[in-house]
Structure 1
Amino acid sequence: MNKGRDDGQKTTGRITPELVAAHGLKPDEYQRAVALIGREPTLTELGIFSAMWNEHCSYKSSKKWLRTLPTTGPRVIQGPGENAGVVDIGDGQAVVFKMESHNHPSFIEPYQGA
């Protein structure tokens, strides 16, 4: 059924909790998406929210843990930014830590490296 949209896309009223879960979204995240666009999303839009709000793009599962790590100190040369940081390890040397999540999300496979 078309719910009065004028962009040619139809909303079917068939976005079920199971479909939301299959897209990796929690019920509150789905409700946030509905609130943001002011209506039920199309299946394509649901897929876009799923992709943009997944662990790879938004770190939704790991960001609460990342916030617990120290980011300042006498040996921190460059704090976090662009997923990297630089720490002085002494003797005029530094180590650069870079986190990238193009592999399987770290909360699922924490021991697989890049």
Structure 2
Amino acid sequence: MTAITPQIVADHGLSPEEYERVLHALGREPNLVELGIFSVMWSEHCSYKSSRIHLKKLPTEGPQVICGPGENAGVVDIGDGQAAIFKMESHNHPSYIEPYQGAATGVGGILRDVFTMGARPVANMNALRFGRPNHPKMRHLIAGVVHGIGGYGNCVGVPTVGGEVNFHPAYDGNILVNAMTVGVADTDKIFYSAS
């Protein structure tokens, strides 16, 4: 069995404090597979470990809010017995590693979350952040991400109706790929994940 070193812990994206929580939870040193599982489940992508504190500051209640955080997607009453059901998600690291598939599966996941609540998806949007346009990898990333977002939405008949793109050297090694889907449903025909 490979000894778990501080470098291996850091390579898995875990802080020393998080590794202490792993030791406490297991009551022993984890093996590499277990460490990998904790690494994934406690990643920003899965647990929002660094952004959760900021997300909790956003308003989640109001007269038109039918369903806030905790469900597959947000639901807002738009009148006449109709609701807008929406989901926004980031797919940053997967899109950096494999731009087309990373972006496409990001769109696919939010489409799934919207239509499983009973909505008909009607529009996709995105907000993208890339590094310097002259960075050696950036053309490949831009082309793949843009084609992945559009390709998945278009093949299921949901157009990308808007988006924004910004460039900054801070994103040379860590692009941001945020996608959003909006759907429409009857307020009395919404399906919730809780039974």
State yes or no: 1:36 paired with 2:25. Answer: yes
User: Match of 2:54, as an amino acid?
Assistant: W
Structure 1 residue 99 displacement after superposition? 2.9
State yes or no: 1:104 paired with 2:170. Answer: no
Match of 1:47 in 2: 36
Counterpart contact for 1:83–1:99, Cα < 8 Å = no
Aligned-partner Cα distance in 1 for 2:49–2:27: 23
Counterpart contact for 1:87–1:96, Cα < 8 Å = yes
* TM-score normalised according to structure 2 size: 0.45
Match of 1:4 in 2: none
Aligned-partner Cα distance in 2 for 1:38–1:92: 53
User: Match of 1:21, as an amino acid?
Assistant: A
* TM-score normalised according to structure 1 size: 0.71
RMSD: 2.5
Name whichever structure is richer in strand by fraction. Answer: 2
| SS of equivalent residue, structure 1 residue 35 | helix
State yes or no: 1:18 paired with 2:22. Answer: no
Structure 1 residue 111 displacement after superposition? 5.1
Match of 1:62 in 2: 51
Structure 1 residue 82 displacement after superposition? 2.5
1:61/1:83 Cα in 2 relative to 1: closer, same or farther (>3 Å)? farther
What percentage of residue pairs aligned between the two structures are identical?
62
Structure 1 residue 80 displacement after superposition? 2.0
Asked which structure has the greater RCO (Cα within 8 Å, sep 6+), the reply is 2
> Which stretch shifts more, 19-28 or 57-66?
57-66
Structure 1 residue 112 displacement after superposition? 3.7
In structure 1, runs of 5+ residues without a counterpart are 1-9
| SS of equivalent residue, structure 1 residue 71 | coil
1:61/1:76 Cα in 2 relative to 1: closer, same or farther (>3 Å)? same
Q: Render the CA deviation track for 1:7-44: whole Å, top value 9, x for unaligned.
A: xxx3x4x3121111110111111000011111111112
Structure 1 residue 93 displacement after superposition? 5.2
Count of matched residue pairs: 101
Match of 1:113 in 2: 179
